[in-house]
Amino acid sequence: MNSPRRKPVSHDHDGASECSTTASTFNATEPGDEHHDNSAGAPTSPNGNEGTAQGKGKDKDKDKDKQDTGFASGTLDSEDLAREEEQDGENSRKQKKKRVNKKELPLAVNMSEGRKWVILTVIMLVQISMNFNTSAYASGVEGIAEEFRISEQAARVGQSVFLVFYAIGSLLWAPWSEELGRKWVLQLSLFLVNVFQLPVALAPNYASVVVGRFFGGLFSAGGSVTLGTMADLYEAEDQGPAVIAIVFASVLGAALGPIPCNALAQYAGWRWTIWIQLILGGVTQLAHLVLVPETRETILIGREIERRKKAGESVEGIEKPERMEFTTKNILVTWYRPFEMFVREPIVFFLSLLSGYSDALIFTALEAFNPVYKQYGFTQAQIGAAYVPIIIGYMIAALSFFIPYYRFKRMLREGKTVTPEFRLWWLLFLAPFLGIGLFGFAWTTLPQVPWIASMVFTALIGLANYSIYLACIDYTVAAYGPYSSSATAGNAFARDGLAGAATMYATPLYEKLGLQWASTLLAFVAMTVIVPVYVFYVYGRRIRLASPFAQELAKKEEDDGDEEQKAVGHRFRA
């Protein structure tokens, strides 16, 4: 879906950084938001000026008497003059020192538009691959249970473990991508995820499956790095289309998993649902290695400084952005603050809950689709195809978000003030489709109702899921500015954590309540969790101004400096 003017602010997301950064969909300077204090130093005291004038008058009277001695005013005037000349020289040198424009440096933001979209396409592939891994496993649950002689509920632990530690992994990877650069951190993540597919695909027992899934989730960098790469490529006000694309790739990966994997599980066995993850991961890693260069601004500026030094060229005027001191304390602050904001900030808590619940519904559907469509005689492969309507819903939602994006740009051109709450405007219309889709799905799954009817409503669920994800991230980034990476990290943790829980409760829920009433219950919950969207749209500014956490951060920023500028982020899974 966290906005800072640009890069060195911790992003989010993702980062992110990043995220950062995070990475708001429609980020730009909001008119009226920035106030600059142009005063520099205190004015000269009138008394001081008078004293100087009087002193000079006395000096003139005494000059004749003290010409030969060199004492008193004559000597003092020479010292003052020397100091003034030295200061003037220093000021002159500072004025002559020209700061190099960033557009003159080999930064990612200065690449051609075509090159940027090649990189962005590969980053989208990374997102698809990592999120494909979260859902593909579910297709093999029946085969895993049969081979290792465990219950299907126990076999789902492998999926739940992966999702929960995916959330944790996104937080852990973020600081390293900020300090060491995006490319090789993401390469390491992709490599380790691919390596730990092997213990699962070759597992002699179920314990090996769980261990492999545990490390696979933990080593998934997710949006904490991919959204950071996106933020490196575009200025804040131009990030809209790129963020729309990245978020689409993210949700697409999770919905795409069951389509090929259900067929593979049916015709080739459950282990091929793991092998296909490894194949996709390997292709993705190779594409990233070949086509995506380093994009992190601090790394690229550092390289340019070193290149110029070796070539004997001047590095004067190149300002290297401040980088976080890579200390244990700073890393712990980076990891701890997201959880603190999640607990203490109502905006972060309720929007994360909404976003997490929406994402959990997709993983609930992974379990609900089997009993629903088996009553129509669907094979496992055909049930996988039932996820296509969800993808169609994602596509419609993604295209629709160009409406608020262009409205936002027009408002800025007209000089209108755009508050963070504007980011929720489009969601006001789309959020109710979450409950509508669930209610419709619930009562079109009766055997006498054609199967296509329920798929229409799953498309509405997909539309709402994408919209909630994107808008909640976007608003959080705009509302918390330089602290957006920590705020969006809570969103990421809620999404993956609740999705992990959903894999465990979904089947028992549908078995005990039945197909219709289980979905109806979920619909009632959905209508409840969307209420904060309307509350924050109307009262969001008041809530932000009254935030105890924001006040504490402001005081701490005044006393100690902005720690979040030094800590790094973009910690949210896209």
Crossing angle of helices 113-136 and 346-374, rounded to 10°: 60
pLDDT for position 270: 96
Q: Does residue 9 lie in a domain region?
A: no
Res. 214: pLDDT tops 50: yes
Mean pLDDT, range 314-322, rounded to an integer: 67
Please state, in angstroms and rounded to a whole number, the distance separating the CA atoms of residues 19 and 536.
Answer: 22
How many distinct structural domains can be found in the chain?
1
For 108, residues 6+ apart whose C-beta sits below 8 A from its C-beta are 116, 119, 232, 233, 293, 295, 297, 300
pLDDT for position 482: 57
Res. 276: pLDDT tops 60: yes
Mean pLDDT, range 432-438, rounded to an integer: 94
Written in H, E and C, the secondary structure of 255-299 is: HHCHHHHHHHHHHCCCHHHHHHHHHHHHHHHHHHHHHCCCCCHHH
pLDDT for position 78: 56
Mean pLDDT, range 3-18, rounded to an integer: 39
HSE of 79, CA atoms in CB hemisphere, 13 A = 7
Q: Does residue 343 lie in a domain region?
A: yes
Question: What are the pLDDT digits (tens) for 343-369?
Answer: 888 888 888 888 888 888 888 877 789
Question: What are the pLDDT digits (tens) for 125-155?
Answer: 999 999 999 999 999 999 999 999 999 999 9
Q: Does residue 350 contact residue 424 with C-beta atoms inside 8 Å?
A: no
pLDDT for position 107: 82
Please state, in angstroms and rounded to a whole number, the distance separating the CA atoms of residues 230 and 477.
Answer: 15
Res. 554: pLDDT tops 80: no
Please state, in angstroms and rounded to a whole number, the distance separating the CA atoms of residues 459 and 370.
Answer: 17
**Residue 25 banded pLDDT, cuts 50, 70, 90:** very low
**Residue 300 banded pLDDT, cuts 50, 70, 90:** confident
Mean pLDDT of the chain: 79
**Residue 34 banded pLDDT, cuts 50, 70, 90:** very low
Q: Does residue 573 lie in a domain region?
A: no
Question: What are the pLDDT digits (tens) for 365-403?
Answer: 777 898 999 999 999 999 999 999 999 999 999 999 999
C-alpha distances (whole Å) from 517 to each of 372, 436, 520 are 13, 14, 5
Q: Does residue 317 lie in a domain region?
A: no
Please state, in angstroms and rounded to a whole number, the distance separating the CA atoms of residues 384 and 264.
Answer: 10
Question: What are the pLDDT digits (tens) for 158-213?
Answer: 999 999 999 888 777 877 777 788 899 899 999 999 999 999 999 999 999 999 99
Q: Does residue 69 lie in a domain region?
A: no
Nearest to 443 by CA among 367, 518, 499: 518
Please state, in angstroms and rounded to a whole number, the distance separating the CA atoms of residues 405 and 262.
Answer: 37
Q: Which CATH number fits the domain that encloses residue 397?
A: 1.20.1250.20
Picking from 21-25, 237-241, 249-253, 412-416, which range would have the lowest pLDDT averaged per residue? 21-25
Q: Does residue 29 lie in a domain region?
A: no
**Residue 80 banded pLDDT, cuts 50, 70, 90:** low
Structure tokens at 166: 């995916």
| Enclosing domain of residue 355 | 108-303+325-566
Single-letter amino acid, residue 264: L
Q: Does residue 447 lie in a domain region?
A: yes
Picking from 493-497, 539-543, 554-558, which range would have the lowest pLDDT averaged per residue? 554-558
Read off the pTM. Answer: 0.77
Q: Does residue 216 lie in a domain region?
A: yes
